[in-house]
Structure 1
């Protein structure tokens, strides 16, 4: 690949700040969100940690002043946010966002994945009557409009980035089943990449339940997103020629959906945990929420080919040598 970064390291750091400041200010205004503080670690007994696909191991450590307990570094704040909305007294139509920083020890290290994760985690209260696909799509359109607005400001400040990416006027919607039907015989990743080349920006909906082929498009934790009302925002990354996920989000489970998805996943024992008990007792608000990757968004808008160009992490020596040979400086 004949690639050279458009910005030097100091310009890159300035551009990252511009992207983060612009995006978070505009998304807060567009979705009516208030910034709040959030935990870096939680207790396992709370049931608040994101179990992701169910096989990832959280980083944990003992707490000498709390004998017999180990704290876990969060994987995300998907469940914590819902409790916070209730505790802080948010009303329907209002929401929160926070800077979520996590360590995912079992992540495969490559151009798109790091041990370190940074994202804007956000959550908003809905009226139960708005718990539908129309609300989900309208929220996706709002987020995409903020992405485009941020990109315009970045390109005005750094016009040399103009050839680095393409954002269509509107985002396309497609379900996981429709994607499988469109590309029969392809893997899930191949399907995502192929459609990204066509649509440039799309929201892949209804992820979690098995497709007609017998397997789900991708694994999803059973206890926060409703698998019929969720999805991922994917953009086309021209330098890597692939689908580039910047957000996973959805309308959250209600009592009935939680029980159905826990059973389908063989995770019925989670119903005994504090978060799940609160939800099953009807004491948590109906919400929509998700995570938007901070470094992912920067990587895309700055025309970068490695996530390490947008945040500091650790990498295999061979990977760093390969990037150096290409003139790519990792932060």
Structure 2
């Protein structure tokens, strides 16, 4: 069900024209910084892939992909991507990208099962990126190093927005805080996963929660993650599992945590088989993507996605993602948002 948060005394700082100018500045500047920080080249990405090849992102495993028949291919079905988590790794191999370099692209997706609200829409736009790494770097220190580089680009972009629109004061801390999802659970044992995120984001301003997908001591994962791209079962030096995570900041407008990015070190053969077994999906080993990985045809990589509209929403201090992107919303939500000072495009 859709749900609308109505920020108290909300009034947009920028009008529609200023907002569009801000969106362009943010997108141009951030992607250039991201490319420079991680040595990524821009490539073209698909809007849809063939069904049944194991290429599409399964997210939490319950979301339905939008599908359609292809007339000139005997009505073989294609599906709109959820994200490009696995497609990017195939592309690293096909483009013969060398270690220490990578790719990024504008990913556009439709998630028809999304629960619509201030932070969720039917349309998803993000920078999907993937970088080739050596197997020796499969550790938490390397993951943190990459997170810090991405966060540095985010901090610089916020200052660019401040220079263009002085009424928008920077709020991001200089450094990002790291915490494992199990440590977060132990810190707030009586709160839900989202409530724990709110508390830690409010305290530190920007956090990276490590270990998304594996079960915690309460028997539940902090959040869902598909078993065939991120590594969420490999133990680290402190005993906690997971070489992936979510980058979350405190949203001063909505007064709650805002996830801007999800990323992680990708599965190798051993981790893939272990995680498929954990979720009872060993049959996936017969799919195109999984066969190539198990045959050693894909490089070891690290990658993730960074929400474009969410990033712009945060920087421009908007109360609803519909103030950034044009979309379809329940008529009641559109009317309520208008009354709350959040006109939806």
**TM-score range normalised by the length of the shorter chain:** over 0.9
CA-atom RMSD in angstroms: 0.8
**Number of the residue aligned with 1:305:** 319
Mapping of residues 159-308 of structure 1, within 5 Å: 159-162=166-169, 166-227=171-232, 228-308=242-322
What is the distance in 1 between the residues matched to 2:288 and 2:33? 34
Mapped partners of 2:96, 2:270: distance in 1: 24
Deviation at 1:326, TM superposition (A): 2.1
Instruction: State the Cα distance separating 1:68 from its structure 2 match.
Output: 4.3
Q: Note the C-alpha offset of 1:166.
A: 1.4
Q: CA deviation at 1:45?
A: 2.4
Matching residue of 1:116:
123
Residue 33 in structure 1 maps to residue 40 in structure 2: yes
Aligned with residue 73 of structure 1, among 77, 80, 86: 80
- Count of residues in correspondence between the two structures: 329
1:132 maps to 139
Q: CA deviation at 1:130?
A: 1.2
Please give the secondary structure, in 2, of the residue aligned with 1:246. strand
Choose the corresponding residue for 2:68, options 52, 61, 76: 61
Q: How does 1:75-114 map to 2 (within 5 A)?
A: 75-114=82-121
- The unaligned stretches of length 5 or more in structure 1 are none
Moved more, 260-269 or 113-122: 260-269
Of residues 8, 18, 28, the one that matches 1:11 is 18
Q: Which residue of structure 1 lines up, in the alignment, with residue 50 of structure 2?
A: 43
For structure 2, list consecutive stretches of 5 or more residues without a partner in the other structure: 1-7, 233-241
Matched, 1:318 2:332: yes
Secondary structure of 1:122's counterpart equals: strand
| 1:263-306 C-alpha deviation (Å, 9 max, x unpaired) | 11111111110100010111100000000000000000000110
